Amino acid sequence: MKRLRTVFATGLVVLIGVLTLTISVGCGPAKPKVICAMKNPETGQRVELFKEIWYKVPADYDEKKHIEQWKAEQRKKGFTIQVQN
Protein backbone atom coordinates (compact mmCIF):
# COMPACT_ATOMS: atom_id res chain seq x y z
CA MET A 1 0.00 0.00 0.00
CA LYS A 2 2.83 2.38 0.90
CA ARG A 3 4.60 1.65 -2.40
CA LEU A 4 1.40 2.39 -4.34
CA ARG A 5 1.13 5.81 -2.64
CA THR A 6 4.75 6.59 -3.48
CA VAL A 7 4.31 5.63 -7.14
CA PHE A 8 1.10 7.68 -7.35
CA ALA A 9 2.75 10.73 -5.74
CA THR A 10 5.76 10.48 -8.05
CA GLY A 11 3.51 10.17 -11.10
CA LEU A 12 1.48 13.17 -9.97
CA VAL A 13 4.59 15.31 -9.52
CA VAL A 14 5.87 14.32 -12.98
CA LEU A 15 2.47 15.07 -14.55
CA ILE A 16 2.32 18.51 -12.92
CA GLY A 17 5.86 19.25 -14.09
CA VAL A 18 5.09 18.25 -17.68
CA LEU A 19 1.89 20.31 -17.71
CA THR A 20 3.72 23.33 -16.31
CA LEU A 21 6.43 23.12 -18.97
CA THR A 22 3.87 22.69 -21.74
CA ILE A 23 1.86 25.69 -20.60
CA SER A 24 4.87 27.96 -20.08
CA VAL A 25 6.35 27.17 -23.50
CA GLY A 26 3.10 27.24 -25.46
CA CYS A 27 1.56 30.37 -23.99
CA GLY A 28 3.48 33.50 -24.80
CA PRO A 29 2.16 36.97 -24.19
CA ALA A 30 -0.65 38.01 -26.49
CA LYS A 31 0.30 40.54 -29.14
CA PRO A 32 -1.83 43.68 -29.07
CA LYS A 33 -3.91 44.39 -32.17
CA VAL A 34 -3.02 47.59 -34.03
CA ILE A 35 -6.11 49.59 -35.02
CA CYS A 36 -4.40 52.49 -36.75
CA ALA A 37 -0.85 53.55 -37.61
CA MET A 38 0.43 56.95 -38.74
CA LYS A 39 3.79 58.15 -40.00
CA ASN A 40 5.63 61.46 -39.79
CA PRO A 41 6.94 62.24 -43.30
CA GLU A 42 9.72 64.49 -42.00
CA THR A 43 11.25 62.15 -39.41
CA GLY A 44 10.03 58.76 -40.62
CA GLN A 45 8.76 57.94 -37.15
CA ARG A 46 5.67 55.79 -36.81
CA VAL A 47 2.99 55.73 -34.09
CA GLU A 48 0.39 53.03 -33.53
CA LEU A 49 -2.96 52.92 -31.77
CA PHE A 50 -3.76 49.56 -30.18
CA LYS A 51 -7.17 48.02 -29.52
CA GLU A 52 -8.30 48.63 -25.96
CA ILE A 53 -8.62 45.68 -23.58
CA TRP A 54 -12.34 44.97 -23.32
CA TYR A 55 -12.50 44.86 -19.52
CA LYS A 56 -10.59 48.12 -19.06
CA VAL A 57 -12.82 50.41 -21.11
CA PRO A 58 -15.69 52.40 -19.58
CA ALA A 59 -19.29 51.46 -20.36
CA ASP A 60 -19.79 54.51 -22.62
CA TYR A 61 -16.58 53.92 -24.65
CA ASP A 62 -16.90 54.78 -28.34
CA GLU A 63 -14.03 53.29 -30.33
CA LYS A 64 -14.65 55.32 -33.50
CA LYS A 65 -14.64 58.58 -31.53
CA HIS A 66 -11.47 57.53 -29.72
CA ILE A 67 -9.73 56.75 -33.04
CA GLU A 68 -10.69 60.12 -34.51
CA GLN A 69 -9.46 61.96 -31.40
CA TRP A 70 -6.19 60.02 -31.50
CA LYS A 71 -5.69 60.81 -35.20
CA ALA A 72 -6.33 64.52 -34.57
CA GLU A 73 -3.75 64.55 -31.76
CA GLN A 74 -1.19 62.80 -33.97
CA ARG A 75 -1.76 65.21 -36.87
CA LYS A 76 -0.95 68.10 -34.51
CA LYS A 77 2.35 66.33 -33.73
CA GLY A 78 3.22 65.99 -37.43
CA PHE A 79 2.06 62.43 -38.12
CA THR A 80 0.05 63.10 -41.27
CA ILE A 81 0.33 59.91 -43.33
CA GLN A 82 -1.96 57.03 -42.42
CA VAL A 83 -0.16 53.70 -42.83
CA GLN A 84 -1.76 50.34 -43.60
CA ASN A 85 -1.38 47.89 -40.72
What is the CA angle 53-50-48, rounded to 5?
165
Region at 44 (left for phi over 0; alpha for psi -120 to 50; beta for the rest): left
Structural domain boundaries in the chain: 1-29, 34-83
Say what the pTM is.
0.63
Closest by Cα among 49, 37, 20, 51 to 80: 37
Sheet harboring 34-39: ordered strands across?
46-50, 34-39, 81-83
For the chain, the distance separating the N- and C-terminal CA atoms, rounded to the nearest angstrom, is 63
| pLDDT, tens digit (0-9, with 9 covering 90-100), for 15-63 | 787 777 666 656 667 788 999 999 999 999 999 999 998 899 999 999 9
Q: What is the pLDDT of residue 28?
A: 67
